[in-house]
Copies of this chain bind each other. A is one copy, B any other.
Amino acid sequence: MEHHLISEKTVERLILYRRILLTIDPEKQKNIVSHQLALLTGVKSPQVRRDLMVIGYSGSPARGYDISSLIESIGHFIDAPVKQGIALAGVGNIGRAIIDYFKGRRPKLDISAIFDIDPEKINRVLHGCRCYHIDQMEAIIRAGKIHMGIITVPADSAQSVAEHMIRAGVTGILNYAPVKLVHPENIHVENRDITLVIEKVAYFSRQVR
């Protein structure tokens, strides 16, 4: 399998498709047609068919897609072959919320190391994760062969944390700090600035009326 030119949007939708498919009771329904999956996920049906085409999954005319094998095919494409560790830096409100929320949701992904600078937190187990001082981060990420990091530290330390992560081998960063991280272009950075998205929705809530 030599995929590479798959767009971010397609990846997002594939993840969404799987999430919806997993909520369907396999006793009750074995197959699904593109139109129904489209309805459940809020996309158009040709889009669904195209996305599945991209991962080389084929359905059957007049019967649609086999749910369980489709889930498996998406997993083949999206999931790590072995369990993948994630490092999280910044055990404040947002960090804690993410740790708590994510714990156990995806079998192949695990927030396996968390970091902070608060002596109160260090060496304690918080929400099921042992918290280390951020000075140890590079070593621990390297030792754990971790390739993804989540940044939930304050804005002024985000860049430095990102640089440490990247130096230690991280290639994908999910950034909640309200700063534009500068980084090599082969590093995937996803920004989830909360203030920004609130402003955006506030704007559009006034446009529609």
Contact = CB atoms under 8 A, between A and B. Distances in A.
Interface of A: 4, 8, 11-12, 15-16, 19-20, 40-42, 78, 80, 84, 86, 92-94, 96-98, 100-102, 105-106, 109, 147-148, 150, 170-174, 178, 180, 182, 186-188, 190, 192, 194-209
Given A41-B180, A102-B195, A148 B205 contact: yes
Contacts of A20: 180
Number of copies: 2
A187 B207 CA distance: 10
A203 B101 contact: no
Contacts of A187: 208
Contacts of A208: 171-172, 186-188
A40 B180 contact: yes
A12 B203 CA distance: 10
A205 B109 CA distance: 12
Given A172-B208, A194-B102, A196-B15, A202 B109 contact: yes
Contacts of A170: 205
A188 B172 contact: no
Contact of A200 (B105, B178, B190, B195): B190
B97 A200 contact: no
11 contacts: A11-B200, A19-B196, A80-B206, A86-B202, A93-B96, A101-B194, A101-B195, A106-B198, A171-B204, A172-B204, A192-B192
Nearest to A176: B101
Q: Would you list the 5 A-B pairs with minimal beta carbon distance, nearest first?
A: A172-B205, A188-B204, A93-B97, A97-B97, A148-B205
Given A194-B98, A196-B12, A206 B106 contact: no
Contact of A204 (B11, B180, B197, B209): B11
A201 B190 contact: yes
